Amino acid sequence: MKLKSVIAAAAAGALLALSPQPASASVAINARSCAEPNGRVNAIAMAGTLAYIGGDFTQVKDERGVWRARNRLAVFDTANCALLPWAPTANASVRALHYYGGVLYAGGDFTTMNGVARGRLASFTTSTGALRPFNPNPNRVVRAFAVAAGRLYIGGDFGAVGTTGRSGLAAFYLSNGALDAAWKPVSVGGVYALANDATRLYVGGMFTALAGSTYSARFGAVGLTSGLLDRAFLPRPSWPVHTIKVDSRAVYAAGGGTGGHLGIYNLNGTLQRPLFTTDGDIQGLAVDGDSLYVGGHFNNYCTGGTGSGTPFLCSLPVERRKALEISLSRGTVTKWAPVINSALGVFSTAVVPSTHQLWVGGDFTRINDRLVERLASFS
């Protein structure tokens, strides 16, 4: 073989090595319709084998086809899709849920819960379903939670908690519900997402500055106990961050902007891989083993991260209707491609740890052209 042919063959082999074929999916393409809320599902929180949902619905059709009153909160047994009796009443949207230590935290736009004043933040004892007395009363919407270092952290659009000034971020002691007076980083703009590891609270949103620094616009980290900006993590995305997940391998952040974006970051804020791009916002992330599940408002994955225009169009589109899966070990989008309808599609994703079921919520009404309304599970 001539030298040029040898070089060409080697180059082709290198390109193939850099562009592996899509991996097989980890869950089935067809979804199970567990129940049918009559409005959007904004948030899902797993508590063992229970799935708590929050959103804009006022009724849920149960697994037997009977409509039940459920005012923006409900809970299911993930093993059999049974709608459980717990039925609190929020008077406006629930936008965020978080479960920790036998307590479910709910955030949103509501001002009452079960007819009792609860300004945009409430909590429940899950063993009894009872509303807890915790009532700090942020003055605007709560969109995100994290729990670490003996504290509950909240993020949103608020400028005060009760009569105390807090700009987009606040922390409360789990032991007594008291506001942490010393922890007060300032977000100049809305906070949409929170996540934590052992030392940092990761913060995402539309803000233009965080803890006094414009270098952390849209995405940054602060100390769990100090609230000071962590200058060792400066990813500096050009797009707003809607959701964050963290594990021992990486910090995963996704959002909108021109198209949708997903970054997998090292702990120093550098990218592990090139950005993943879609032609619509990404709203939900769930990590399960080698799988990173992605949900949002997109219709296509943009191969190579390229695209342009308004509306944004991928240069090399691969159809992925509102959901896709990434193999973390390979760094590639898998073959899993359910077709989810509606303009916005998926708003929330979560995995049942013991069974690896994937749950998705949103405003969709069909998956793979089957009636599956606003809540579904894949296994």
Per-residue pLDDT tens over the stretch 245-265: 999 999 999 999 999 999 999
Share of the chain above pLDDT 90, in %: 92
Report the pLDDT averaged over residues 330-334. 96
Q: In this predicted structure, what is the pLDDT of residue 22?
A: 53
Share of the chain above pLDDT 70, in %: 93
Q: In this predicted structure, what is the pLDDT of residue 361?
A: 98
pLDDT digits (tens, 9 = 90+) for 293-326: 999 999 999 999 999 999 999 999 999 999 999 9
Give whole-number Cα distances, 304 to 267, 274, 311, in Å.
24, 8, 18
Query: Mean pLDDT, the chain, as a whole number?
Result: 93
Q: Which residue has the tokens 């695209």?
A: 307
pLDDT digits (tens, 9 = 90+) for 44-80: 999 999 999 999 999 999 989 999 999 999 999 999 9
Is the pLDDT at 208 greater than 60? The verdict is: yes
pLDDT digits (tens, 9 = 90+) for 282-292: 999 999 999 99
Q: Which residue has the tokens 């063992």?
A: 48
Q: In this predicted structure, what is the pLDDT of residue 143?
A: 98
Is the pLDDT at 10 greater than 90? The verdict is: no
Is the pLDDT at 14 greater than 50? The verdict is: no
Is the pLDDT at 157 greater than 70? The verdict is: yes
Can you read off the two tokens belonging to residue 134?
């915790």
Could you please report the per-residue DSSP string of 44-87? Answer: EEEETTEEEEEES-SEEE-TTS-EEE-BSEEEEETTTTEEPS--
Secondary structure (3-state) at 252: strand
pLDDT digits (tens, 9 = 90+) for 210-250: 999 999 999 999 999 999 999 999 999 999 999 999 999 99
Q: In this predicted structure, what is the pLDDT of residue 24?
A: 53
Q: In this predicted structure, what is the pLDDT of residue 34?
A: 86
pLDDT-based confidence at 26, cuts 50/70/90?
confident
Is the pLDDT at 203 greater than 70? The verdict is: yes
* Whole-prediction pTM: 0.93
Could you please report the per-residue DSSP string of 175-244? Answer: TT--B-SS----BSS-EEEEEE-SSEEEEEES-S-BTTBGGGSSEEEEETTT--B-TT-----SS-EEEE
CA distance 292 to 193: 17
Can you read off the two tokens belonging to residue 254?
């996704």
Domains of the chain: 81-348 (2.130.10.10)
